[in-house]
Amino acid sequence: MKKNTDSEKSKLDRKMVEKNRRMQMKSLCFKLASLIPPQHFRASRDILSQQDQLDYAASYISQLKERIENLKGRKEQVMGMGLGNTNHVMDTMTIGSRLPVIDLRDLGSSIEVIVISGLQKNFMLYEIISILEQEGAEVVSASFFTVGDKVFHTIHAQVKISRVGVETSRVCQRLHELIY
């Protein structure tokens, strides 16, 4: 009699372990499917079986891997072109010797400001943004990135009142005063 209850208990334990495993797998499949953008599914995620969701996820991951490889190739190609071109090397050397650099482009109803500085030059991006706003431009986007020992700042702004415009020479003068 005792053997029967032990074997029944063992069966119940195995069933519970298996049930927990299935629930865990279902939860992980749901998490994986939620990470895939909806446009990669041909049907609603709710309608698809777990197998279909896993197939779409595998396909999406393969596409991402392929995209990464393409981008790596493009990056190597661009880096190779930069190293092979002596004019580019000379430009980089001369820019490095006369940092910071300010380039302000008046694009009619918008302005693009590019500032290249060294890592040791301390000014805040918000200071450039405040100058633009004080001069009548509304900043649409601002970003920066670092390459080697250079920091590239790019700010795009639109003129608030198009008939008044922005005095770009005054903006340029104020930026020079800030940065130099």
Q: Could you report the per-residue pLDDT of 128-153, keeping only the tens digit for each?
A: 889 998 988 899 998 888 888 888 88
Domain 99-179: CATH class, spelled out: alpha beta
Residue 2, pLDDT score: 57
Residue 84: which pLDDT band, with cuts at 50, 70 and 90? Answer: very low
Q: Has residue 42 got a pLDDT over 50?
A: yes
Residue 40: which pLDDT band, with cuts at 50, 70 and 90? Answer: low
Q: Could you report the per-residue pLDDT of 43-77, keeping only the tens digit for each?
A: 666 677 888 888 888 888 888 898 888 888 877 77
What predicted TM-score, i.e. pTM, was given to this entire model? Answer: 0.45
Among 1.25.40, 3.40.50, 3.10.450, 4.10.280, what is the CATH number of 2-82? 4.10.280
3-state secondary structure of 44: coil
- Per the rule left: phi > 0, alpha: psi between -120 and 50, beta: everything else, 103 is beta
- Sorted by where each begins, the domain ranges of the chain are 2-82, 99-179
**Do residues 155 and 132 lie in contact, with contact meaning Cβ atoms separated by under 8 Å?**
yes
